[in-house]
Amino acid sequence: MTSTALPTTDELRARARGGLQNIGVDVAEGNDFHARTPITGESLLGLTAATDAATEEAIAAARTAFLTWRTTPAPRRGELVRRLGELLREHKSDLADLVTIEAGKIRSEALGEIQEMIDICDFAVGLSRQLYGRTIASERPGHRLAETWHPLGVVGVISAFNFPAAVWSWNTAIALVCGDTVVWKPSELTPLISLACDHLLARAAEEVGAPRDVHRLVLGDRAIGEKLVDDPRVALVSATGSTRMGREVGPRVAARFGRSLLELGGNNAAIVAPSADLDLAIQGIVFAAAGTAGQRCTTLRRLIVHRDIAGTFIERLTAAYHKLPIGNPFDDTTLVGPLISTTALDAMRGALSRVQAQGGKILAGGNRRLTEAAPSAAYTEPVLVRVDEQTDVVREETFAPILYVLTYDTLDEAIALHNDVPQGLSSSIFTRDQQEAEIFLSAAGSDCGIANVNIGTSGAEIGGAFGGEKDTGGGRESGSDAWKAYMRAATNTINYSSELALAQGVSFL
Active site residues: 263
In order, the DSSP letters of 294-344 are G-STT-EEEEEEEHHHHHHHHHHHHHHHHT--BS-TTSTT--B---S-HHH
Distance CA 380, CA 311 (A): 26
Cα–Cα distance between 63 and 233 in angstroms, integer? Answer: 7
3-state secondary structure of 396: coil
In degrees rounded to 5, what are phi and psi of residue 186? -80, 175
CA distance 489 to 20: 40
| Residue partners of 454: CB distance under 8 A and separation at least 6 | 276, 277, 280, 281, 284, 429, 430, 431, 432, 437
98 near 168, Cβ under 8 Å?
no
Helices assigned H by DSSP within 358-448 = 411-419, 434-441
What is the spatial distance between Cα 333 and Cα 65, in angstroms, rounded to a whole number?
Answer: 47
Q: How many CB atoms are closer than 10 A to CB 155?
A: 30
Contact of 460 with 466, CB cutoff 8 Å: yes
Task: Report helix, strand or coil for 502.
Answer: coil
- CA dist 246 and 252 (Å) reads 10
Round to whole Å and give the CA distance between 29 and 22: 18
The span from the CA of 244 to the CA of 471, in Å, is 9
CA dist., res. 411 & res. 440, Å (int):
9
Q: Are 450 and 242 in contact (CB under 8 A)?
A: no
Residue 315: burial class (beta carbons within 10 Å; 0-12, 13-18, 19+): exposed
Q: Which helix (H) or strand (E) holds 92?
A: helix 92-103
Q: Is the dihedral of CA 228, 230, 236, 237 positive or negative?
A: positive
What is the C-alpha to C-alpha distance for residues 486 and 501, in angstroms, rounded to an integer? 34
The answer to whether 349 and 24 have CB atoms below 8 angstroms apart is no
Q: Beta strand pairing status for 368-369 and 379-380?
A: antiparallel
* Positive or negative torsion for Cα 439, 445, 449, 455: negative
